[in-house]
Amino acid sequence: MITTYPESRRDDQVDVYQNAAGEAVQVPDPYRWLEDPDSPETQAWVAEQNRVTQAFLASLPARDAYRERLTGLWDYPREGAPWKRGEHYFRHFNPGLLNQPVLEVATSPTGLWRTLLDPNTLSSDGTVALGSASVSRDGRRLAYGTQSGGSDWMTWQVRDVAGGQDLPDQLTWSKFSGAAWLPDGSGFYYAAYDAPQDGGALTSTNRHQRLMLHRLGSAQAEDTVIIERPDEPDWGFRAEVTHDGQYLVVHVWKGTDPRNLLWVRPLHSDGPFTELVSDFHASYRLIGNDGPLLYVQTTADAPRGRILTWNVETGEQREIIPEGPNALQEDFTVLVPGGLLTVALHDASHRLTLHTRTGEVRRELPLPGLGAVVSLNALPDDPEVFLAFTSFLSPATPYRLSLPEGTFESLSDVAPAFDASAFEVTQEFAVSLDGTRVPMFIVARRGLNRDGRNPTLLYGYGGFGISLTPAFNPSRLAWLERGGVYVQANLRGGGEYGEDWHQAGTLGDKQNVFDDFIACAEHLIASGVTSPAHLGIQGGSNGGLLVGACMTQRPDLFAAVVPQVGVLDMLRYHLFTIGWAWASDYGRSDDPDMLGTLLAYSPLHNLRAAAYPATLITTGDHDDRVVPAHSFKFGAQLQRCQTGTAPTLLRIQTRAGHGAGKPTRLVIEEAADIWAFLEHHLKLQSGQATSS
């Protein structure tokens, strides 16, 4: 049992805010010094926290067993869905335990595949990842962005596909950007920021993004500024060149708000853009075009989404697919020869439909089971469509969909050594505090004995319109094999039922998300799946906020909590890197009307002397999305407030960030630590550990 934690110095820092009544509200912030990740004092504190945590985790008998089993479960070929450019096909591939997947190229979607880019060769520890890849229309050039040590910052380079050599081009300080090639492959559009001040790369706010055009062979300093808006520092720009090469279309975004602007102009024009959408009232996404006729998906007057055509020459709009009972998925509507493919959510799992280009339903295309499409690659003039499909018990598998027949052909038959037939997935619904019906997926051994003694992990997110669909994760298999239950909740704040479902979990209604999660926990207890002594909760990023808020509101309901890279200080989140962008979901503490709401649930500010569940807080020292100060300050305060015997531990990974691009080696190590921690505290009988 932990009896002594590293000393966490407390200062007398007090901030003054104004509430809706115009009153001054004083809020202490004694651990402000932990916001500087590079100070010697913070680094010494981190080292001591890690020392205590690693000593505890090393004492857990299940830890080595999990590492061994997880290594075996991860060691199988993982093939991404191919995509086609010119005469070449491309895919991401990991033969098993590589830290980073490689990018491969072939002249057929079935191979023979040749390695085009292997990120594992770019660093000795596997912490340089391929963040983005875009191939020119003719398939001759690859623009690729790499990220180092978990940071969101990308460096763009260009590689010749035939020869595999890099061109001299190198573009730095790009973030939240893809690459949109010119039709002739002579250059591409990307987004960039000014270089941060010395020492501020991982903490300074990210504002004033610019849309740039880079011509191959030129220096970055010579790139053309296509759009910059000093009067709108929070605007960002995503460029898209239509497949026929006629138009440049720009999606203008503002933070994580799904509402955007849509601008268009002829590709080779230097004139002003036509602002098809000039105010942030709904989301608009370009699907494709037939000449001047754009196909656009929008939530305007349709929170579950609808599709319309928009003539850029006449301005005429015409709805072709009206809003239906299921939420259309923005990233998975594509033009195909003579038609459109749509993916929609029905109770948090996907449905695939083929339409004509005027919107009539041609046929429903049955997917392999209860699961989700994770990628959909198509060209408007090519009958070959490639997609990857996954479920809780089957890995993401690439398929070739032939049109117009609608026939599926699996391009892979590999899977980890795991007996999926021993387990089952069921869907149940909890009733939240206000009567809202909240779905959850329960993954467990067949014939689960509902005696209230099953160690159960409840996972959730509930924010930014992000939907949690069925997805395969090798690490969960080890938990299931050892007798654990995994539950995934679909909370308000997500996008499972459209934009209304999202908005019902934002701003002044954010408490709905926590109420939904607590209702799911209570449902699992009432239905005999588990009990508070056997129930743990986990969430990452906004999900870290979720579990942090729920553990402070209902510490009696859970035995273990794992907040990962969590947003835990709701009064200062907006002051670092891209945090300001989340205000559309959260609101800000400098808004008097929101201060009371944020103070009511901010995990850091709601810790009081109490017996809290066992807590394992995880973060990365290079996380420049949710800076590690959130986890540092919350952990220090929780260690101070804990009156019970359960441990409060911080696991701080070096050379790691928010999660994307994390090397396989580190993923396995972290998963083994988390599962061993949960097994110990949720009293999993097959792996019961001795007290430590």
**What are the residue numbers of the active site?**
541, 623, 658
Structure tokens at 251: 């999606």
Q: Are the C-beta atoms of residues 90 and 96 closer than 8 Å to each other?
A: no
Q: Which of 570, 586, 590, 572 is nearest to 508 (CA)?
A: 586
Contacts 24+ apart (CB under 8 A), 350-356: 350/469, 351/326, 354/403, 354/404, 354/406, 355/320, 355/321
> Count of CB atoms within 10 A of residue 356's CB?
12
> Count of CB atoms within 10 A of residue 315's CB?
9
Distances (CA, A) of 553 to 430, 488, 517, 608: 19, 20, 12, 10
How many angstroms separate the CA atoms of 80 and 94, rounded?
Answer: 9
Strand (E) positions, 19-100? 24-28, 78-79, 83-85, 88-94
3-state secondary structure 386-451: EEEEEECCEEEEEEEEECCCCEEEECCCCCCCCCHHHEEEEEEEEECCCCCEEEEEEEEECCCCCC
How many angstroms separate the CA atoms of 126 and 120, rounded?
Answer: 5
Give the end-to-end CA distance of the chain in Å, rounded to a whole number: 5
- H helix intervals, 453-510: 474-481, 499-503
Structure tokens at 472: 């395969």
Contacts 24+ apart (CB under 8 A), 416-424: 416/72, 416/73, 416/74, 416/75, 416/76, 416/474, 416/477, 417/72, 417/73, 417/76, 418/73, 418/477, 418/481, 420/393, 420/394, 422/446, 423/393, 423/480
How many angstroms separate the CA atoms of 385 and 404, rounded?
Answer: 10
Place of tokens 């820092």: 13
